[in-house]
Amino acid sequence: MNDTPPVVLVIDDEPQIRRFLRAGFDLEHFTVLEEETGEAGLRTATLRALDLIVLDLNLPDMDGAIVLERIRGWSKVPIIVLSVRASDDDKVRLLEAGADDYVVKPFSMPELLARARTALRRQARGTHGEPVIKVGPLSIDLAARAVLVDGVRVALSPKEYRLLQVLAQHAGNVVTHNILLREVWGARHMQNAHYLRILVRKLRRKIEQNPKEPRVLVSELGVGYRLASGSESD
Amino acid sequence: MPSYLKQFLRSPQGRSLTEQLVGNLLALLIVIAVTAVLITASFWLPIQHVMILYLIPVIVAALRWGSLAALLAGVLGLAASAFFFYEPIYDFRVHSPAHLVDMLMFITVAAITGWIAVTVRQAKMRAQAESLRDALIGSVSHELRTPLSAIVGSTSVLAQSTTVERDEHLSSLVRVVRNEAERLNGNIQNLLDATRISSDGIQPHWEWVDPEDIVSAALARKRPMLAGREVALAVADDLPLAYVDPSLIESALGQLIENAAKYSPANTPITVSALSSNDAIYIEVGDKGAGLAAGEASKIFERFYRSPRVAGVAGSGLGLWIARSLTQACGGRIKAFSAGEGHGTTVSIALPVRQQPASEEGDE
């Protein structure tokens, strides 16, 4: 990343949670801003240039999901959602409303930092354009449409490549089943979740060292799939 | 009023005693009211078989105030009809055999309806107590989670600080706090699951899923708990897809993995396998631990059952019961096998193989 430290806005009404988030982000040289309510969070998000928002869903004045939607109305800043409500439906709804990732409370700081760095890296890639994505032994050259495992080119079917491409564009973050189905098969096939299962299985046979214990194309049960981020699989 | 009586009336038993007195009094009043209505009516109508009407106070009393008030209402009803309506009038004796049959019928019907009404009342009270208990557990669990998040998060930051990292004692203490907080979180999750199972039942979120994904997700989640244990993974090629709620089966499998790790020596391997037959997909977890005694294979799935041989290991007796409930909610079965005490245990989740969905054509 560049010289100026990334600015993160924490929106959470629990002071104890904010305290450890501040300490954790400080250790990693982030500049931390804090807000306790959705209103105040929205105001700060409009006034300051932010690199990341960590948003608690359970706010005293409004549902965190509404804060998320409002911010997405004008900004593409990466948003990671914190939640104690952990139902799969909720996660899917948040991701499709534009959250970059979610972390379920209780969580450890390294877990959150890994998600944060992934989201920041993706943001940077979006602006600078970085055609090659590496995950462990796998490298995906989006410009040349080439996929290599340990330097050896792998032949993929068009749908296999398309699936990998969508995941690579979000490398490190979860992509929901619905989004994958729409991007690979089109909106008419949103109900055919089993297409995705079978395609993922085929793709894993080609890109995973041990397809039974996937490390690259990871499943988030009930939610979607994630291409492990570079730092996690190194 | 003497002070001990006051104290008694304020105590829980005392309160129910007052309630009972009030109930009996109200039952008496209803009988009087019915009698008054009947007497008034008898000036205009040739009323013969009044007994049936005295069932009203019996049933009302049984539903509202319990068996004692119902009994009182029944006896009073009998007395009132004998005294006011059955020859000789204004005398408790009854001469006509028809009236005697009436009264016998009344006693039979009152006993049966009274008993049914009391059962209904008890069931209602039990249900109220249960829903109150579940609401309490639910909110308590949620209230526990928030401080727990602060503890887990703060210790994870502490663990990263260089001061702590350099000091062996400090870092081991931080690890203890972290691990125990995680364990507490697991217990709260079990409490929540148990509440969900017993209060409103489980509504599975059905979808087609690759059993491989369930196995790898459960293993990934339990990996920190396995702390370097050897896990032998054997997943068959080309397993059929399962139509279940993946999160529920993953939780159930997680319980099995956790149990295998808890109840077998740390230097022995755990096996996790997935295979299929024509009509079922089997996901199994095996350990080389204490095994099962005769008859334990089904007992271990009962709520709060804990084998006396594992008394030294902390546990609530909820885990396998939860695993079984979650599996059954998805139409699956769960079974335990053991070659006997000291020969390890294998627990198997069997999921039904359903008609596989039509696959898509052409993508090569």
Check whether residue A120 and residue A13 sit in a common domain.
yes
Instruction: Say whether both B51 and B11 belong to one domain.
Output: yes
Alpha carbon A17 to its chain centroid, in Å, reads 21
The secondary structure element, H or E, covering residue A218 is: strand A217-220
DSSP per residue over B50-118, as a string?
-GGGGHHHHHHHHHHH-HHHHHHHHHHHHHHHHHHTSSSTTSS----HHHHHHHHHHHHHHHHHHHHHH
Per the rule left: phi > 0, alpha: psi between -120 and 50, beta: everything else, B324 is: alpha
H/E run at residue A139 = strand A138-141
The pLDDT of residue B351: 96
Domain of A164, CATH number, reads 1.10.10.10
In a domain, A225, yes or no: yes
Is A231 touching B (CB cutoff 8 A)?
A: no
Residue B359 counted as domain residue: no
Phi and psi at residue B201, to the nearest 5°: 70, 175
Domain count, chain B: 2
User: How near does any CA of chain A get to the CA of B145, in Å?
Assistant: 7
Token look-up 């979000």 returns A170
A9: β partners: A33, A53
Reported confidence tier of residue B41, pLDDT bands at 50, 70, 90 = confident
Residue that terminates a domain, selected from B201, B222, B242: B201
Q: Hey, how many other C-beta atoms are within 10 angstroms of the C-beta on B263?
A: 18
Residues B217 and B169 in one domain: no
Q: Are residues B51 and B175 in the same domain?
A: yes
Nearest CB to B212 within list A109, A212, A222: A212
Pair (A156, A123) in one structural domain: no
The DSSP annotation for A16-36 comes to HHHHHHHHHHHHTT-EEEEES
Q: What is the pLDDT of residue A230?
A: 58
Indicate if A111 and A161 belong to the same structural domain.
Answer: no
- Judged by a CB distance cut-off of 8 A, whether residue A158 touches chain B is yes
* Structural tokens at position B75: 């006896």
Question: Domain holding A100: CATH number?
Answer: 3.40.50.2300
A198 Cβ neighbours under 8 A, 6+ residues apart:
B241, B359
Chain A residues with CB-CB distance to B215 below 8 A:
212
B274: phi then psi, degrees, rounded to nearest 5: -135, 125
Residues A94 and A138 in one domain: no
Look at residue B361 and tell me whether its pLDDT is greater than 70.
no
A2 belongs to a structural domain: no
Of A28, A19, A87, nearest to A231 by C-alpha is: A28
Counting as low any pLDDT under 70, the low residues of chain A are: 1-3, 85-86, 126-130, 230-234
H or E element that contains B126: helix B97-160
Out of A83, A106, A127, a domain closes at A127
Which percentage of chain B shows pLDDT scores above 90? Answer: 29
Number of domains in chain A: 2
Q: Determine, for residues A221 and B217 on separate chains, whether the beta-carbon distance falls below 8 Å.
A: yes
User: For the segment B120-154, what is each residue's pLDDT rounded down to a tens digit?
Assistant: 888 888 888 777 776 776 677 667 888 899 999 99
Q: Which residues from A are below 8 Å from B180, CB to CB?
A: none
Is ipTM over 0.90?
Answer: no
**Stretch 40-99 of chain A: residues touching chain B, C-beta under 8 Å:** 84, 88-89
Question: Do B214 and B194 sit in the same domain of this protein?
Answer: no
- Identify the band that residue B282 occupies on the pLDDT scale cut at 50, 70 and 90: very high
Tell me if A193 and B207 make a contact (CB, 8 A cut-off). yes
Q: How many residues does chain B have?
A: 364
Q: Give how far A211 is from chain B: nearest CA, Å.
A: 9
**What residues make up the domain containing A28?**
7-127
B105: in domain = yes
Cβ-Cβ contacts under 8 Å, B212 against chain A: 201, 211-212
Check A88 against B247: CB less than 8 A apart: yes
Domain termination residue (choose one: A68, A97, A127)? A127
What phi and psi values does residue B91 have, to the nearest 5 degrees? -155, 140
Structural domain containing residue B7? 1-201
Do B92 and B221 sit in the same domain of this protein? no
Residues B295 and B149 in one domain: no
Backbone angles phi, psi at B9, to 5 degrees: -70, -25
Is the Cβ pair A84, B142 closer than 8 Å?
yes
A84 and A162 fall within a common domain: no
Together in a domain, A64 and A33 = yes
Provide the shortest C-alpha distance from residue B199 to chain A (in Å). 17
CA distance A87 to chain B (A): 9
CB contact B228 to A (< 8 Å): no
Q: Does B184 share its domain with B329?
A: no
Within a domain: residue B361? no
Same domain, B86 and B174: yes
Residues A43 and A137 in one domain: no
Q: Indicate if B52 and B113 belong to the same structural domain.
A: yes
Q: Is A21 on the interface with B (CB under 8 A)?
A: yes
Structure tokens at B342: 């000291």
pLDDT of A2 = 53
Render pLDDT for B178-198 as a digit per residue (tens, 0 to 9).
Answer: 888 888 888 888 887 887 787
A186 in reach of chain B (CB within 8 A):
no
* Residue B358 falls inside a structural domain: no
CB contact under 8 A, A17 and B181: no
Q: In the listed set B150, B177, B201, which residue is the last one of a domain according to the structure?
A: B201
Please check whether residues B249 and B180 belong to one and the same domain.
no
Top residue of A10, A92, A93, A108 to mutate, by most chain B CBs within 10 Å, is A108
Based on the fold, state whether residues A50 and A147 are members of the same structural domain. no
B259 vs B118, more confident? B259
Which one of B201, B236, B270 terminates a domain?
B201
**Which CATH number goes with the domain that contains B245?**
3.30.565.10
In a domain, B151, yes or no: yes
- Do residue A159 and residue B241 have CB atoms under 8 angstroms apart? no
Which of A98, A127, A156 terminates a domain? The answer is A127
